[in-house]
Amino acid sequence: MYFIVIRLLVFSALMVTSIAGANPTLMPQDFVYLDEAIPRIRLEMNYYSNRNFVGKPIDGYVKPRAILSRPAADALAAVQQDLSIFGLGLKIFDAYRPQRAVNHFVRWAADPYDTLMKSKHYPAIDKSRLFKEGYISSHSGHSRGSTVDLTLVSLDSGENIDMGGIFDFFGPESWAAAATPTPSQRAHRMLLQRVMEKHGFAPYSQEWWHFTLKNEPYPDTYFDFPVQ
């Protein structure tokens, strides 16, 4: 398993260098900070802290900021505007994710003894199956700059709307069409999905919080500049 991980990391480094340009550690001019681009948006950047499925700060998150490509940020601003009519808004869990953060996840997944956060984030799935089940990958759409993880909140108080599960819970309970949430929780998930789809985002069936801009500007580029 160790040699497989090393090969994945080497392949990742070569891919990032070859397709993201000569200096992939610089943020492109058409990427923006969401707290500057979208009024009243909330951030909960858990990968900057130890409040995540690894239980440690993740490589590449130097500051608790959220970054997206300008087209994705503009579409997300339209989502926020639509939700504000109902007194709702968006909270961002993750947006652009450096390739070095994805590499951190790969290394973590290869260590069968590091199960610090298992009871909270993957209680019913053996860690060795997280790749096969589609919860972790050696490359992430987040690194292309137009994928976002988010939830609904009260626009005024910032209180989370009950979605029937936490961010980064690995299991069928997190599937967008899961039957386990209550009717009101399913309605909240459906509202988020419908308004995101209205503004050009595609959902991910296994994670109710995960959406990618359909017409993303960098569909083949995986960036590695730090979040700072």
Q: Which of 119, 148, 129 is nearest to 208 (CA)?
A: 148
Task: Report the C-alpha gap between 63 and 47 in whole angstroms.
Answer: 10
The Cα 168–Cα 204 span in angstroms is 13
- In sequence order, the β-bridge partners of residue 213 are 201
Cα 160 to Cα 43: distance, rounded to the nearest angstrom? 12
Element (H, E) at 77: helix 70-84
**Degrees, nearest 5: CA angle 184-213-23:** 135
Q: How many other C-beta atoms can be found within 10 angstroms of the C-beta atom of residue 187?
A: 12
CA-based nearest residue to 41, from 74, 71, 77: 77
25, two tokens: 């550690």
Strand 67-69 to strand 31-33: parallel, antiparallel, or no bridges (unpaired)?
antiparallel
Between the alpha carbon of residue 21 and those of residues 25, 58, 189, 227, the distances in Å are 9, 24, 38, 18
Residue 207 is among the residues annotated as catalytic for this protein:
yes
Q: Which of 44, 159, 197, 207 is catalytic?
A: 207
Q: Which residues does the annotation mark as catalytic?
A: 207
